[in-house]
Amino acid sequence: MTDASSNTPRLTTSIIEPDPRTRRRNASERRFRAYGLAAIGTGIAALIFLVISIVSNGYTAFLQTYITIPVELSEQRLDPQGNRDPEEMARVTTFGYAPVLAMALQSHLIEQGIPMDGVNPRDLMAMISQEAPAQVRNLVLANPEIVGQTLDMEMLASGRIDGYFKGRVTLESAERDSNVSPAQLALAAAMAEAGLMDTRFNWAFITGPDASGQRPEAAGLGVAILGSLYMMIVVLALALPIGVAASIYLEEFAPKNRFTDIIEVNISNLAAVPSIVFGILGLAIFINFAGLPQSAPIVGGLVLTLMTLPTIIIATRASLRAVPPSIRDAALGLGASKMQSVFHHVLPLAMPGILTGTIIGLAQALGETAPLLLIGMVAFVREFPDAPPEGLFDPTSALPVQVFSWTQRADPAFVERASGATIVLLVFLVSMNLLAVMLRRRFERRW
């Protein structure tokens, strides 16, 4: 009799020792993991390098060097008539205040015994910011009674002197710079030792308006921050209700036909359109056709609303689609209408995703520059806008546009200011993304 087991094929592989095919597969999996880890590591390294570069170049923008000296507000120069009439005193321009500050600084240096070797009165005045005479003039016009008194005045140091204490300007670079001399830097170091100069946190960088190209030390982000805030209010007031309403209709109520398919395809296409195209659209419709003012937050908000709508619609539809159909069926089975099932059951469950998509869309809009450049928000604006709704039509700037504007100016101090503004913008973007994560976790429901 033939043994039946002799016809059974014998195993040529072992479950302990892998065969060549298994070894190749395992090696392929290890390579894929290595590629993934390398990609993640490269991305993290690039992000760390970017953050370190921005912070190292921009943190000094939050610091500022000040000069504090007693200034005699001479009645003969500032109020020759002696009437303390602000209208008469306003005839003295900032050019009339500059010699007052120069003489006060020179006199105080002599009193303190600080030598001024190689520094003439003109060079001495150049160590003070050109913003200082205007600040003193505004103070005198607001308080005419202080004329004739001697007050301790805190003034901004010029951009080159400020850069010396921040390490941006050196004695070697001063020898090649027509705006500052080594003698001025040596005098500034002596004044700092005597307590006449100090470098500290600069709140005016966050709250103050922009300054001209000759006064980088006085440039601030106040108008740009307020302009960005007004635009975000417009975007939130328009994009959220319109985007959510359109998403609910398309996802829950619209019939599935060729017309709605065309709408869905175009929404997806609009999400990929370059932002500058929306700027051209805003320039043609809102400014040239509708006659709205340039550089106004209302125009910037409308343009960013058009750009943000596709993002909000896509995110909202994905959130609605993620709600299980059983929720709808259960509501309808208990006698609820279609609208009741959507607004009472589906929409609350989709709210975390809707809020997340909205905040991410707002964060994307906050960082846009190209469409705002086309509608004129790159203009130099020093006046703060009024409160809404009037302020929505006043000229303003925006944070990304302010960064672009400062990088185009010749003085290297503005590059420092641009990096500082980038830090502020990144803080806003990170805060908005963290808010999106918190809201999603707060309202998320599991089923």
CATH of the domain at 377: 1.10.3720.10
Band (pLDDT 50/70/90 cuts) for residue 1 is very low
Whether residues 432 and 375 share a domain: the answer is: yes
Whether residues 192 and 237 share a domain: the answer is: no
Whether residues 145 and 269 share a domain: the answer is: no
pLDDT digits (tens, 9 = 90+) for 222-264: 999 999 999 999 998 999 899 999 999 998 888 888 888 888 8
The residue among 167, 202, 237 that closes a domain is 202
| Element spanning 255, H or E | none
Whether residue 389 is preceded by a cis peptide bond, meaning omega within 30 degrees of 0, is: yes
Q: Which residues pair with 322 in a beta bridge?
A: none
Range of the domain at 394: 222-443
Whether residue 9 is preceded by a cis peptide bond, meaning omega within 30 degrees of 0, is: no
Residue 190 in tokens = 């002596």
Residue 155 in tokens = 């003034």
pLDDT digits (tens, 9 = 90+) for 129-170: 988 998 899 998 888 888 888 889 899 999 899 999 998 888
The residue among 149, 173, 202 that closes a domain is 202
The CA-atom distances, in angstroms, between 5 and each of 1, 13, 14, 15, 122 are 12, 18, 20, 21, 111
Domain contains 363 = yes
pLDDT digits (tens, 9 = 90+) for 183-225: 999 999 999 999 899 999 999 999 989 888 888 999 999 999 9
pLDDT reading at 327 higher than 70 = yes
pLDDT of residue 192: 92
pLDDT reading at 7 higher than 70 = no
pLDDT of residue 362: 86
Region 366-392: what's the mean pLDDT?
85
Domain contains 305 = yes
pLDDT reading at 6 higher than 60 = no
Whether residues 196 and 251 share a domain: the answer is: no
The residue among 170, 202, 234 that closes a domain is 202
pLDDT digits (tens, 9 = 90+) for 329-374: 898 888 888 888 888 888 888 888 888 888 888 888 888 888 888 8
Whether residues 162 and 256 share a domain: the answer is: no
pLDDT digits (tens, 9 = 90+) for 279-300: 898 889 999 888 888 888 999 9
Cα angle vertex 95, ends 91, 97, to 5°?
Answer: 80
| Element spanning 197, H or E | strand 197-201
Residue 322 in tokens = 């993620």
Q: Determine the Cα–Cα distance for residues 20 and 206; give it in Å rounded to an integer.
A: 65
Number of domains in the chain: 2
Whether residues 270 and 418 share a domain: the answer is: yes
Region 59-78: what's the mean pLDDT?
89
Region 65-83: what's the mean pLDDT?
87
Whether residues 179 and 277 share a domain: the answer is: no
The CA-atom distances, in angstroms, between 398 and each of 140, 297, 344, 401 are 32, 9, 39, 5
Whether residues 366 and 290 share a domain: the answer is: yes
Whole-number average pLDDT of the chain: 87
Domain contains 44 = no
Cα angle vertex 320, ends 319, 325, to 5°?
Answer: 125
Domain contains 56 = no
Helices then strands, counting H and E runs in the chain, come out as 20, 3
Whether residues 164 and 310 share a domain: the answer is: no
